[in-house]
Chains A and B, each alone.
Chain A
Amino acid sequence: MIAGSSSHQLLDFIKFLRGRDVPISPADSLDAVHAASLLGYTDRSTLRDGLASVLAKSPYEEARYHEAFDIFFGLPTPRDASSIESSTEPNDQNQSPSEDSQGNNGEQPASPLSALSQAASDSSELSDLLDSSLVRALQSGDEASLSVAIEAAAREAEVDNIRLFTQRGQYTRRLLDALGETDLRDAAIQLEQENPAAFHELQELRERLRLRARDRVERAYLVHTSGDTEEFLDNTLSEVKLSNISPHQMMRMRKLIERMARKLASRHGRRRKRHRRGQLNVPATLRASISTDGIPFTTRWKTVQRRRPQVMAICDVSGSVAAYAKFLLMFLYAVQDVLPRTRSFAFSSTLGEVTDWFEALPVEEAVNAVNRTYGGATDYARAFQDFADQALTDIHSATTVIILGDARNNNSDPRLDLLAEIKSRCKRLIWLNPEPRVAWGTGDSAMLPVIRHCHLATECNNLKQLERIVDKLLADSRR
């Protein structure tokens, strides 16, 4: 069925793939065109395998690619529409005269058709209309010329510019206008009173045309924009405040977080240890040359020993930040995947390490377990104390400590001296507060004194901010 496709269609496919989270560079597209011309368009599975090797770059992308290939090339193309689409139409009998309607022609459509043609014999306008190629194609079920007409009209109506699902109606209307459907409508209005039989016949033709047009628009939508809409939704969602995200968006949110973690992983998850190579260690080389009479036969090179960066994340899961906690924990879960040396802690009053849960359990279960065990009323003093007991000695000069919380301590002393001690031991102490900056220090918020004890204190309540902060954090930790 791919026969007759051109590189133009291949480029459409690539655009379609891009919309489905498979990034493809222009160079890849060129390779794909080369590969396709080598492999030919006749053997579907060879083409599918060959293009996969050029376009999909990981098992994940490969899965998406195969899915997309089947959707895209499974769709009828304008050229072979007649062979496939006829079976998807609701009223099959009238569609393909070559096959089944020849038998039917004699009995069923004969009488209503004549109603319309009788009406036409009374009115020259109507007979002109019925004589137009479009209506004749509709009446005889000539799929090929109908497809050609629709394609031409689609170009005129710029159907391929469709961007949003809700624009379907609008574009279908435009396509029908371009097809000259208004004349049919006018004729139908006239006939409605005068000749009900002919009216119904005409309405049926119109309905058939409308279905075809909507089909064409939906296909354009699927090919050109399904990706854009997804992207649009994702972008919106990542800028929405975490607490405002409703439960039915959880699935999408989880996917987003996972994708974000994957992105961060590929950007930063590489090597965490580096040697400086290619620089001569002159003193050592000179020393070694003593045994060869000052001629430096053995060379010594500089190396740098590095301490691997370590992240410790502490997440407040108390009632006041419950709405955020879920996402923050999800995010911590993802981060722990990316940075193997991450230790995660959760608290509301007592604090405990949850690293092992994140490693062992799938994300939903892990998050629920943490919430169940550590949820409750906030007590920062207690939490800091627990953290100091459990992990203070493990904090060293390459450790980054991230605290996620609102610093609302029910008006009791948050023991900032402990925070100060943590700060003095670690490389960086970062406080991420889900509350907007203006709310810091209001009511029982102890955020203002907290700022003094942090290297960085910032507002963080949507995915975009979170990603930016973690990206920066990871970039710094590589240096």
Chain B
Amino acid sequence: METSFYQALNDIEGITTDFEQAGYICTTRIATVVYLAAQLNKPILVEGPPGVGKTELAKTCAQVINKPLVRLQCYEGLDEAKALYEWKYGKQLLYTQILKEQLGDMLEGAKGLKESIQRLHSTGDVFYAKEFLEPRPLLRAMEQEQGAVLLIDEIDKADFEFESLLLEVLSDFQVSIPEIGTVQARSKPIVFLTSNDTRDLSDALKRRCLHLHIPFPSIELEARIVAARVPELAGKLTDQLVRFVHAVRELDLKKAPAISETIDWARSLLLLHAEQLDSRLVHDTLNVLLKYEEDIVEAEDQLNKLLKQTTA
């Protein structure tokens, strides 16, 4: 059974504690889905706003089960040559040039075209062999002997056609290469797909996945996450900071700060040896938290109100 590679994922509570040790605080919801994915051999489609730890989940998972992480970053125009495999065209061409003479020798004395072709056939498809195949992330993940974690990041950025390409990989864990045949996964990888919801994915893809929607965390959860990620920061400041971020999320912003921004901010405050939030400090470091000028202006307008909410 392939699942034996992923023994660390055999019970839900174990997942929660293991992930926590690796610095990823996960809700039971997340742990349940990871557990199901490992047991049912199904990919997980992780959705949610940017920066809530979708990619991090896959990385942590690889770390916990101690398997290589194979990552495929999607973008518009991504195709099978970049995702599945590619023939090393240059190598093929170079070899045929180098072997020109040998080919000449081999065909020497052959009578007529028919015999030459027959002799060529007897060598097999030498130029379409594994040696000339350049595995791309999807194929590479299939080839891992001991299992792997495959991360297909930001699938919504890829084209619609690319989704169809993924179907074979995701449901059967195999890649068809016309010249060679079907390559079966040596051991089924654990697959994470992430999506920022910029467009709807096709039903066919959705159907093959377990769904996990990660929203912005609650105050308590976020405080735990910051404490796990930036343990050096004083507990009181962590608390203030998280509550401030939550207050900021309530504002009408172009982009609400995500967990990753909270952590960045916590790190900056640590570097500045801050002891507590005050308007000056926030004013100076707000650009770590908010990424648009108009958002910063909006937050600064209400800075006093926000701080009052935070320290109250």
Contacts and interface: CB of A to CB of B under 8 A. Distances in A.
B79 A57 contact: no
A34 B160 contact: no
A129 B153 CA distance: 71
Contacts of A299: 89
Interface of A: 25, 27-28, 31, 34-35, 38-39, 45-46, 49-50, 52-54, 56-59, 62, 265-266, 269-271, 274-275, 277, 295-297, 299
A56 B211 contact: yes
A35 B36 contact: yes
Interface stretch (B27-35, B102-110, B243-251): B27-35
Contacts of B288: none
Contacts of B200: 58, 265-266, 269-270
Contact of B93 (A34, A46, A295): A295
A46 B42 contact: no
Contacts of A49: 28-29, 32-33
B213 interface: yes
Contact of A271 (B97, B159, B206, B212): B159
A59 B213 contact: yes
Nearest to B44: A53
A34 B37 CA distance: 11
Contacts of B160: 270-271
Contacts of B202: 270
Contacts of A270: 160, 199-200, 202
Contact of B42 (A31, A62, A277, A297): A31
Main SS class of interface, B: helix
User: Which size bracket describes the interface of B in this complex?
Assistant: 20 to 34
**List of 3 A-B pairs having minimum Cβ-Cβ separation, nearest first:** A53-B210, A49-B29, A49-B32
Nearest to A38: B39
A148 B177 CA distance: 60
Contact of A295 (B40, B44, B97): B97
B36 A27 contact: no
Contact of A25 (B12, B32, B89, B207): B207
A246 to B, nearest CB: 33
B90 interface: yes
B40 A31 contact: yes
B77 interface: yes
Interface string B39-60: 1101010010000000000000
Given A54-B36, A299-B89, A46 B211 contact: no
B90 A39 contact: no
Contacts of B199: 269-270
Interface string B84-121: 00000110010001000000000000000000000000
A62 B33 CA distance: 14
A56 B199 CA distance: 17
25 contacts: A25-B207, A28-B207, A38-B39, A39-B36, A45-B28, A46-B12, A49-B28, A49-B29, A49-B32, A50-B32, A50-B35, A54-B210, A54-B211, A57-B203, A57-B211, A58-B211, A62-B211, A265-B200, A266-B203, A270-B160, A270-B199, A270-B200, A296-B93, A297-B93, A299-B89
B16 to A, nearest CB: 12
A54 B160 CA distance: 22
Contacts of B44: 53
A348 to B, nearest CB: 35
A53 B28 contact: no
Contacts of B28: 45-46, 49
Among A28, A50, A57, A297, the one with the most B-chain Cβ atoms within 10 Å of its Cβ is: A57
Among B79, B97, B200, the one with the most A-chain Cβ atoms within 10 Å of its Cβ is: B200
B7 to A, nearest CB: 15
A34 B211 contact: no
